[in-house]
Amino acid sequence: MAIIGNPKYAERIDHHLAKYETKRSAVMPLLFIAQEEYGWVNAEGIDEVAQILNLDPTQVKSIAGFYTMYSERPKGKYWLQVCTDLPCALKGADDFHAWLKDELGVEEGGTTKDGMFTVEHVMCLAACDKAPMLQCNFHYVENLDQDKMRELLAKWRLEAAQAANGRG
């Protein structure tokens, strides 16, 4: 589908357009909506955001490229961003991150073959007292260890399978 004319987003788009003094200010929230719709910030999403805001698509692409939370590449259903910044690293986050990649069989930034998980490391997420931690699709999961992580992976796999069945 698209984001323009999609009833799912109409209200949110209007809310964002209303809250700023200029249309251009809404580029960030709208890019999040595009990412939600397409799973990543693809060319369609950029063009639609540009159209809504009356901007050149170059400007929108530029914004998408500057910020790390917009993915300009497709990613897994669960986008796992492990904090490996200094405070977390002092509590074993580097090892945890390496283990997780091993466990899922992916390289840094890579996605599992089944398209389920993308793993990458990120800078400090303001959760240093709860290391190791990660962010899954922008929701925090804290005080992790390998056992807890295995359970979570299983849970997410199940969730995804159920969702697929529910639909099919």
Q: Which residues contact other proteins (rule: CB under 8 A)?
A: 19-22, 24-29, 31-32, 46, 53, 56-63, 65-70, 85-87, 89-91, 122-129, 131, 135, 138-140
Taking the C-alpha atoms of residue 15 and residue 69, their distance in angstroms, rounded to an integer, is 21
Rg (CA), the chain: 18
CB within 8 Å of 68: residues ≥ 6 apart: 122
**Length of the chain measured in residues:** 168
Closest separation in Å from C-beta 21 to other proteins: 5
> Least separation, in Å, of the C-beta of 116 and other proteins?
21
Residue with smaller CB distance to other proteins, 12 or 103 = 12
C-beta of 54 vs 165, nearer to other proteins: 54
φ/ψ of residue 69, rounded to 5? -85, -5
The DSSP secondary-structure symbol of 31 reads: H
CB of 10 to other proteins, least distance (A): 17
Which residue number, 25 or 112, has a Cβ lying nearer to other proteins? 25
